Structure 1
Amino acid sequence: MDRLKAILLLIFLYFLSPGQTLQAQASVDPVQWSQELVRESDSVYVLVFEARIDPEWHLYSQHTPPGGALPTEFTFKNEGAGYRTLGPVQESETHTAFSTIFEVEETFFKGTARFTQKIQLTDLKIKGIQVEMFYQVCAEVCIGADKTFLFSFSDQPYVPEAAALDAASLAKGDALLLDLKNKELLGQDTGSGSVRRQGIWVIFGLGFIGGLLALLTPCVFPMIPLTVSFFTKQTSSRSKGVARAGFYGFCIVLIYFLLSLPFHFFDSVDSQILNTIATNIWLNLFFFGVFVAFAFSFFGYYELTLPSSWASKADQASDRIGGAIGIFFMALTLAIVSFSCTGPILGGLLGSTALSEGDVATNLTAGMLGFGVALALPFTLFALFPSLLQRLPSSGGWMETVKVVLGFLELGLALKFLSNADLIGNWGILKREVFLGLWILLALLVAAYLLGVFRFKKTGADVRRSPWSIGGAFVFLSFAAYLTYGLFTGAPLKMLSGFPPPDFYTLRAQNSDCPLGLECYKDFDKGLQESRASGKPILLDFTGWACVNCRKMEEQVWSDPEVFQILRDDYVLISLYVDERRLLPADRQFVYAYENGTRKEIESVGDYWSTFQNLNFGAVSQPYYVLLSPSLEILGPAIQNTDIDTYRTWLDNGLKLYIKDPFTGSEAIEFP
């Protein structure tokens, strides 16, 4: 049951971070496993599982008490069908210590661990045994993992019958691997790291803006003067009141920071699995529904609130405890009672984080910190300068106006997730023109609302025309005009790169279904054959239909005249979509067996290319660009998100390293 809760928690928290192709790096397991089969007699064997654990990490015993880290579990597949276990799994020496986090005594291994299980064969013809293990290791964070062990009773590796790989499957699996040369060049620095680091500050800024918007909502704004007055008037000195208000603001920041920490644990999960979830059609439709629900809550049709008992308990704790801990619970009470206004804004922030470049968990922490800082700022600022409280505008209908505008923004974000599902499923519902048309309609509706043309009955009084509302209407009318220009001229909308569908996903007839009308190959084998026939090197582009950063690179970097000319004239472009859900023909589907015994079912084109990328280049993020010669020589380091100058220099350097000598090797293996 504890394991089920952990898995459900993973799924729930991931749902808060909607999808696109996640840009993450495969993590390294802090436990390295080995196995051994010891024969005691013709029918009795001992299965040995040994672990080498990295310093500072703990692997947990099967018998660690409940309530703390999860215990190690063994599952002996098909027990009773040819063999039986003799007694429980035995363990090597363990350590015991009190966990201040879980407040229980935990039993764990440090450095090394050894498990043994004695078995007896009841059928001497049995070929082997499959053992599944679940374990958790903890240091500053905890990581849960599954491991498969295969024990063979012959000289041949054991393959379970349920996932047996025939000779054809093995050949298909071998076709995934390329005979790459100069592979060490992949990891060299390209000088583009500074560009990626700037993304954290962009996310922090988005979070800060979201926090400022939350301040203007009726759930938060009235709390500012009440809370500041409480701290400044209920203390013996002004300096003490200022200090308490400052600590209150710090606690607000801390709470939103703590909300982001679990995502650092999930970032250590196999990123191919997360990528598969993020590009799932039905999950994107789910997020579409969630953001539509957020929008109508802002329109006043209902409120999304956390259970009132949470706020009551937090408030009671703040009154009962007092001091610094009491102030923390006051901040927690604010976070809970304001959820109906801050929740949809945080949802939008989480969506923007998932659609941004860089490490998802780090970006989320930056965004949450920005949100918390903006939310906490007025409580500290007005405590330092109480006279400013008199200049605050009074609460009123203007706050409802802010909520309605935010509701329209939520609808715009919801369309992005519907577009993701449409692109991945290739339904053709939200072509670029339809998507832009809907955004234009939303922008015009916001402008009309701000000008008082209509109102939502649920939100109260009509919008009063003011310089602020007229200015806001002008902004949205300008945005609608910008979208209209792009819609009718086909001009790239660089300010929005990555959000509308790509320019080749259009209602108009196109000569190419590749970015910017370039000639590209969506099959590695065909592109490789063209490279060998033309003598041009390859630009291998790992991309995705739902990859926002891929669209940004295509529309902002590839569209540069010099870069475009190089791509068109000097390279063979191979674009492999790792989230392509089109199924392979039944006779082309297979199960790939990794060296560690784990398996992956290759059923769709996206499954094939994502595994192809991971096996050959050790990466699972997109966009991911590699330069290859026709004879599969690496022509430089791999590159991801970067600027025009860096990308152009990278392409030029690849051409300089490439020496045109005809390829005379064997015929290429056919790819899907």
Structure 2
Amino acid sequence: MKQLIFGIFILLLSFVGRSQSDENPVIWSHEVNKISDTEFELIIKGDIHEGWHVYSQFTDEGGALPSEFKFFEVDKDYALVGDTKESATVKEFSDIFEVEETFFKEEAIFTQRIKLLNPEIKQVKVNLFYQVCKEVCIPADIDFVFSLDGSKAVTETLALDEKSKMLTANLKLDLKNKALLSQGQENIGSGSNLWVIFALGFLGGLIALLTPCVFPMIPLTVSFFTKHSEKKSKGIANALLYGFFIVLIYFLLSLPFHLFDSVDSQILNTIATNVWLNLAFFAIFIFFAFSFFGYYELTLPSSWANKMDAASSKIGGALGIFFMAVTLAIVSFSCTGPILGGLLGGTTLAEGDVATNLSAGMTGFGVALAFPFALFALFPAWLNSLPKSGGWMTTVKVVLGFLEIALALKFLSNADLVGHWGILKREVFIGIWILIGILITLYLFGVFKFPHDSPKGKLSIGRKAVGVVSAAFSLYLILGLTGISNLKLLSGFPPPEFYSVFEKESDCPLGIDCFKDFETGLAYAKEQEKPILLDFTGWACVNCRKMEENVWSEPDVYQILKNDYVLISLYVDDRKELPEAEQFTFQYDSGRTKRIGNIAQKWGTFQDVNFNAVSQPFYVLLSPDLEVLNTAIQNTDADTYRTWLQEGLRNYEGKGFSSNP
């Protein structure tokens, strides 16, 4: 099971590490050898930078991703003769995946022979998906166009067809008064969100302290420092240093996410909304939950802890204390791992930079975990007031297991929303949460127990109190599900209200008429002579749901949106494929190209290119002739949002635009 966890972590690094910088780790070229009038040899060559390697087509399953080829119009215009051949490869055992991997170093050459079925064709298009790795792995793909008529072969990324040129131009707006737009982005992505994530990480660390893997270590460790030091002050200093190293270790765990200074502008959205990544999170959280229920132990290799412990004893001093802190992190992993997994998953749902969010959360977690070691070293007499270890810690783990399942559903919901599967509608999601709340209540009141629970005894006041809270929360969900009350406290976590098992008149937020295509919405705005509210949103965007359910639902805000603006909602995480006629290769001003094949790629690129922003929600006010009417805005309160909308209306009318309220 540990290989699964490490494998997912490496995949996460690959998503975060994907770079669109000018220095590509692999420089690709290709050529054609004519064998006869009907047979050709297609050759693709990659020059791999020093230290990097590209995986073979035939690397063992269970490891890194193999190279894969897609031949367009195969068996229609031409047939493949044999398999795609490779140049020399290297085999090496992976300690992480525990499989033998096959890869190229310095150079990769692929050769494929083809036989024409249609003698009229002049070009063959091939797509290569590959993974290039160093400290992290970067998945990428590239299209090649082989010319069979003797002309120089070029990659599609360097030669745009007329359709791509036209659609590239269409995606770029000629905005007027664009300087006003940039003024509104000064406070976007401010540091306030980091303090929230730090606080959540701190809360996670406090919860981890109550688990049986950590709690018994507090008096043992503090006593070791205070009793095995020549001076009391020395013991306190060592304990404080121990606490500092705990914080440092958990901060260091987030550093791999900072390896690349330049990433694809859409990578954060990709992480948060990728269907398979969300399904992986769902599976991991379910796996974590059952470890908390006591069905198995989630541990790192015991040899790691033994080596760290031996190093701390042998080295001594500050470095020895550091290894003691590493030992604590390893031996407590069975309890802290699932909580850290929740923190890692939670950062993908939060607004802002994933790596920075994760560093803030991991630092908060480490501070909470280190706090009691420093506190009780300063005041060792307080150790006597600590509750004794016992069955209550098992109860904490079980409750955490139920909470892990509840959080896992959020990631399954993200995949369901982005994939448009329709299997986890709002009522189903809330219904499962109600069931989880009821099960927690029944467990806490002793109706049932798990394999590692202590024999039934008298229920503590704390256990009863948490049981009452759980029952109250379940009742709150039931009232919200039946429509008796709203669920504003949970805005953003359940699916949106229009994603319902019951047929809705509109699939737009709050039933407001909206357009999901910019050109269509723009044409309607011109016809109605109304300003545009451009809403960059996402199916799996938590903050978007919070704005819609807490701010847009305010009566006066709702009336403005419904009556005075044309709402254009562009979903930047919608993986639905575009019709073939609308798929194209977009070219940036720098010359770099990007394939636009689905809705997410289209509107994500549209937002990035025109508004220099990639986060959601992101709101822009435009006139029908593309005049920017106000600063851009993101998460805010109802009063600020109302004022912002009203200012946009005044600017629209003040510039001489007509209006049909």
User: Post-superposition shift, 1:507?
Assistant: 1.7
Asked whether the equivalents of residues 577 and 599 of structure 2 are also in contact (C-alpha less than 8 Å), the reply is yes
The amino acid across from 2:218 in the alignment is I
- Residue 626 of structure 1: SS of its match in structure 2? strand
- Residue 253 of structure 2: SS of its match in structure 1? helix
Count of residues in correspondence between the two structures: 565
User: Post-superposition shift, 1:185?
Assistant: 1.7
Cα distance in 2, alignment partners of residues 186 and 487 from structure 1? 40
Q: How does 1:78-477 map onto structure 2 within 5 Å?
A: 78=31, 160=155, 165-189=160-184, 196-265=190-259, 268-462=262-456, 464-477=458-471
Q: Corresponding residue for 2:607?
A: 613
Cα distance in 1, alignment partners of residues 139 and 629 from structure 2? 36
Q: Percent identity?
A: 60
Q: Corresponding residue for 1:77?
A: 30
Cα distance in 2, alignment partners of residues 623 and 647 from structure 1? 13
User: Post-superposition shift, 1:634?
Assistant: 1.0
Asked whether the equivalents of residues 430 and 481 of structure 2 are also in contact (C-alpha less than 8 Å), the reply is yes
Asked whether the equivalents of residues 143 and 265 of structure 1 are also in contact (C-alpha less than 8 Å), the reply is no
User: Post-superposition shift, 1:594?
Assistant: 2.9
Determine if the alignment matches structure 1 residue 15 to structure 2 residue 9: no
- Residue 77 of structure 1: SS of its match in structure 2? strand
The amino acid across from 1:78 in the alignment is E
- Which one of the candidate residues 501, 513, 516 is aligned to 2:510? 516
- Residue 78 of structure 1: SS of its match in structure 2? strand
User: Post-superposition shift, 1:530?
Assistant: 1.3
Q: Corresponding residue for 1:504?
A: 498
User: Post-superposition shift, 1:274?
Assistant: 4.2
Cα distance in 2, alignment partners of residues 9 and 487 from structure 1? 38
User: Post-superposition shift, 1:9?
Assistant: 9.4
TM-superposition CA deviations, 1:21-55 (whole Å, max 9, x none)? x9x9x9996x7x8xxxxxxxxxxxxxxxxxxxxxx
User: Post-superposition shift, 1:282?
Assistant: 2.1
TM-superposition CA deviations, 1:402-440 (whole Å, max 9, x none)? 000000000000000111111111111111111101001
User: Post-superposition shift, 1:503?
Assistant: 1.0
User: Post-superposition shift, 1:340?
Assistant: 0.3
User: Post-superposition shift, 1:384?
Assistant: 0.9
TM-superposition CA deviations, 1:432-457 (whole Å, max 9, x none)? 11110100110110011010010012
| TM-score of the pair, normalised by structure 2 | 0.78
- Which one of the candidate residues 546, 556, 562 is aligned to 2:556? 562
Evaluate the alpha carbon distance shift between residue 144 and residue 369 of structure 1 in structure 2; reply closer, same or farther with a 3 A threshold. same
Cα distance in 1, alignment partners of residues 548 and 27 from structure 2? 48
Tell which has more relative contact order, 1 or 2 (C-alpha 8 A, sep 6+): 1
User: Post-superposition shift, 1:158?
Assistant: 8.9
Asked whether the equivalents of residues 276 and 579 of structure 1 are also in contact (C-alpha less than 8 Å), the reply is yes
Unmatched tracts of structure 2, length 5 or more: 35-40, 50-121, 145-150
User: Post-superposition shift, 1:160?
Assistant: 2.5
Cα distance in 2, alignment partners of residues 640 and 570 from structure 1? 20
Cα distance in 2, alignment partners of residues 158 and 537 from structure 1? 48
User: Post-superposition shift, 1:570?
Assistant: 1.1
Cα distance in 2, alignment partners of residues 368 and 488 from structure 1? 39
Unmatched tracts of structure 1, length 5 or more: 1-7, 34-70, 91-125, 151-155, 664-672
Asked whether the equivalents of residues 252 and 372 of structure 1 are also in contact (C-alpha less than 8 Å), the reply is yes
User: Post-superposition shift, 1:75?
Assistant: 3.7
Q: Corresponding residue for 1:670?
A: none
Cα distance in 2, alignment partners of residues 79 and 330 from structure 1? 60
The amino acid across from 1:12 in the alignment is F
Asked whether the equivalents of residues 257 and 365 of structure 1 are also in contact (C-alpha less than 8 Å), the reply is yes
Asked whether the equivalents of residues 143 and 157 of structure 2 are also in contact (C-alpha less than 8 Å), the reply is no
Evaluate the alpha carbon distance shift between residue 548 and residue 473 of structure 1 in structure 2; reply closer, same or farther with a 3 A threshold. same
Evaluate the alpha carbon distance shift between residue 611 and residue 251 of structure 1 in structure 2; reply closer, same or farther with a 3 A threshold. same
Evaluate the alpha carbon distance shift between residue 430 and residue 146 of structure 1 in structure 2; reply closer, same or farther with a 3 A threshold. closer
Q: Corresponding residue for 2:628?
A: 634
- Residue 276 of structure 1: SS of its match in structure 2? helix
User: Post-superposition shift, 1:492?
Assistant: 3.5
TM-superposition CA deviations, 1:297-351 (whole Å, max 9, x none)? 0000001111111111111111111100000000000000100000001111122
* Superposition CA RMSD, Å: 3.7
Cα distance in 1, alignment partners of residues 157 and 560 from structure 2? 49
